[in-house]
A = this chain, B = another copy of it.
Amino acid sequence: MIKIVVDAFGGDNSPVVNVKGAVQALAHIKDLAIVLVGDQPVLEQLLKDEQYDSSRLEIVHAPDVITCHDKPTEAIKNKKDSSMSRAFELLHSDESCRGLVTLGSSGALLAGAVLRVGRIKGVKRPAFCPLLPTVNGGIVCVCDSGANTDCDPIHLQQFALMGSLYLQKAYGVQNPRVALANVGVEAEKGDNLRKETYPLLAAMPQINFVGNMESRDLISGDYDLVVCDGFSGNVLLKSTEGTAMEVMKLIKKAMMKNLGTKLGALLIKKEVYKVKDMMDYNNYGGAVLLGTNKTIVKGHGSSKATAVFHCIEQAYNMEKNNLCQAIAEELRK
């Protein structure tokens, strides 16, 4: 049995989607147990309407919530009764709790991860590693997407290693194609950080380094893992997600323009919705934080229940395949 802690408060649609996502996960994964952390009476009320295996679900009471207005480190330290603080406390004190899923503040998550869970020995910086859909129906990871805004080449080297192991362990990707996000594909391109990182990645026997990637090719399907500093990784991720969303909105508007286009839309909408679904992060997991002693997954703040389910599934898969240990072993070498 693998036990995952779910922060039931945090995220725009909490606690409803968190509870529904947890129930979905219990139905789909038979050796999964969940600890829901949050306001107990509220959670019990919500669970009344759900069907689930109660032997695999427990509630830990935490009446308070960390919001995006709280200062992350202070909130984790001082808001002891918040759902996220208590969830981290559980990870810290209860060995059977192997992972955490939260939709709450990224800053508080990072603070909690470092203060309560700790880095894997040898890991210099934990890094966020979210998934994006590619145009050929696959996925691509970006690491780091924002945990570390200022990075050294050695950090990027570790992101490449951890991300590569993540794709192998959690998604069964054989020999993931690792690229360095850069301003051009030629080896000598880039700023000082990229120029110093390129030869380091090229010399790593543990990864399948395929060279530099131009940002326009992120979702092309040609890469499995894209290595970045957290600043440009955040720019890369958000501009890609944001643009896909804005263009889909324009298409929707075009389809609703007049009677003729509305008729056309009836014939075409099934296929267009497939494109929209393909681009929808709710159908994928969240951003995992790589490099900590236990599995931590951060879902989008605006996640729906399906997205929460996928985040829990992700955490389960990482623990099932012992990703943290694999990273620790690889770094010991």
Name A's interface SS: helix
Contact A275 B247 (CB under 8 A): yes
Contact A246 B135 (CB under 8 A): yes
Inter-chain CA distance A236–B183, complex, in Å, is 10
Partner of A271, one of B246, B249, B257: B257
Contact A250 B135 (CB under 8 A): yes
| A191-B254 CB under 8 A given contacts A216-B241, A235-B239, A239-B240 | no
Contact B243 A271 (CB under 8 A): no
A129 at the interface (CB under 8 A from B): no
Convert A174-205 into 0s and 1s, putting 1 for each residue whose CB lies closer than 8 angstroms to a CB of B. 00000001010000001110100000000000
Residue of B nearest to A241 (CB): B216
Interface size, A (range): 35 or more
Convert A210-247 into 0s and 1s, putting 1 for each residue whose CB lies closer than 8 angstroms to a CB of B. 00001111111000000001111011111111111111
CB neighbours of A236 from chain B (8 A): 215, 235, 239
Inter-chain CA distance A249–B263, complex, in Å, is 22
Partner of A255, one of B215, B263, B266, B271: B271
Contact A271 B261 (CB under 8 A): yes
Contact A246 B220 (CB under 8 A): yes
Contact B191 A218 (CB under 8 A): no
Partner of A246, one of B219, B234, B263, B274: B219
Return A173 CB to nearest CB of chain B, in Å. Answer: 21
Which residues of chain A (85-137) have a CB below 8 Å from chain B? 135
